[in-house]
Amino acid sequence: MSIILSKEILSRSLEIVEKALSRQSPLLPLKNIHFESSSQSITLSATNMELQIKVILPYEGEYSGKALLPPQITEIVRLMPSTEISLDVDPENYQVNLTGGRTRYNLFGADPADFPAVEKLAPAEGETMSLDPAEFSQILKMVIFAASTEESRPAFNGVLFEFKEDRLSLICSDTYRLVVKNVSAAGWNFTPRRCLVPAKALRELLRILDQSEDKVLLYTDGKKMAFDLGSVYFAAALLNEKYPDISSVIPQRFSTRISLNRSEMEKSVVRAALLAEAPNYAINLFVGRDAMKVRVSSQVGRMEEELSIEGEGEEVDLYVNSRFIMDILRAAPAETLIVEFNGKNGPIVFRLPEDESYLYLVLPIKMD
């Protein structure tokens, strides 16, 4: 018996699930999408053992069955010429028949018996956080860019979710810069704990959040972090690495403090970065009484631009990685930024004037 599904819904569901496929694994179940149909729903699941994704589609029908679908099915459905897809699975040999308009595919599925079950975590009572998907997406975008991509530093390949009695702190660093974002924990009842979530998993989650209108339920069992959007279940295995204590890194004072227009600084830094050279892409910032000069000098040429600021404290002249500055200027959801300096070799701290829960710290480049 055939199942009739909207091509748009099926295509989007497959695109979500395939993010958890293991392309390199020799194990067949991890390279394929698990399909299961019942009288009330259709479930698509995939896992690479580090990431689990399940999508549940409401469906009323008489067909019940299971099969492993080859990964090519995602692109096949996307390119089907019709708005509806007819799908049926032969329970004897797991052959998958897809029909859309005048196009028909006969795909060779596989026995799902060895597929590892994707079961939802059971959170402790009261230890579930509910967040708006757009709000949570914005929070992740404000921190995830600072994660390291170097495999030699596995602890810094993740975002630390630090649960405390009064707040959740998201912390991310690559050792050259640091982001901290606090989320109020009013009404929550979390056991204090630290959970290191892989940044690569959170980047995949971001693509799902940007298309969702359902509330995100966040919870953990200490081994995995689950993000439940109702029809989409997303769980990532936590990194088993010790994350350093960053409390002593954040300066409690400053020698210079300025406020300036974020978009104007972004445009200026982007222009300067055109001449900045590898490996550190250094540009020079000179902060005076009422202006900041953005300067760069390289084998290609020189550039200088002056920005208006409001400030207090000492003059400061330092070098910084232009890419690190561009990251915060693009991620910050504010038109005005506060920047605190601590001399030519001390950390630079970016703050949002209307959000005391957020800070971005970057170390300057020590030039000879």
Please determine whether the domains at 3-114 and 256-362 fall in the same fold group of CATH: yes
**pTM here?**
0.92
Structure tokens at 323: 């890419």
pLDDT at 248: 87
Confidence of residue 310 (pLDDT cuts 50, 70, 90): very high
> Does position 1 have pLDDT exceeding 80, yes or no?
no
* Closest-CA residue to 317 (of 248, 256, 235): 256
pLDDT tens sequence across 193-214: 999 999 999 999 999 998 888 8
Q: Domain 3-114 falls in which CATH fold?
A: DNA Polymerase III; Chain A, domain 2 (3.10.150)
The span from the CA of 193 to the CA of 89, in Å, is 45
| CA atoms within a 13 Å half-sphere pointing along the CA-CB vector of 345 | 3
Q: Are 352 and 315 in contact (CB under 8 A)?
A: no
Structure tokens at 221: 């069992």
pLDDT at 30: 94
Structure tokens at 315: 């003059």
Whole-angstrom CA distances from 62 to 2, 40, 192, 344 are 9, 9, 47, 71
- Yes or no: domain 256-362 corresponds to CATH 3.10.150.10: yes
pLDDT at 187: 67
Give the residue, 277 or 211, on which the prediction is more confident: 277
Angle formed by the axes of helices 262-273 and 322-331, nearest 10°: 150
pLDDT tens sequence across 67-109: 999 999 999 999 999 999 999 999 889 999 999 999 999 999 9
pLDDT at 64: 78
| 116: preceding bond cis by omega (within 30 degrees) | no
The span from the CA of 327 to the CA of 289, in Å, is 26
Residues 234-243, mean pLDDT to the nearest whole number: 96
pLDDT tens sequence across 24-40: 888 888 999 999 998 88
Q: Are 210 and 229 in contact (CB under 8 A)?
A: no
pLDDT at 368: 67
Structure tokens at 28: 């067949």
Phi-psi label, residue 106: left if phi above 0, alpha if psi -120 to 50, beta otherwise: beta
For the chain, the average pLDDT equals 93
pLDDT tens sequence across 117-156: 899 988 777 788 889 999 999 999 999 999 999 988 899 9
Domain positions in the chain: 3-114, 129-237, 256-362
Confidence of residue 246 (pLDDT cuts 50, 70, 90): confident
Please provide the CATH number assigned to the domain covering 129-237: 3.10.150.10
pLDDT tens sequence across 177-198: 999 999 987 667 778 899 999 9
* Closest-CA residue to 172 (of 159, 182, 153, 157): 159
The span from the CA of 294 to the CA of 154, in Å, is 34
- The size of the chain, in residues, is 368
> Does position 23 have pLDDT exceeding 90, yes or no?
no
Residues 6+ apart with CB under 8 A from 300: 275, 277
Element of type H or E holding 34: strand 33-37
Structure tokens at 159: 């975002």
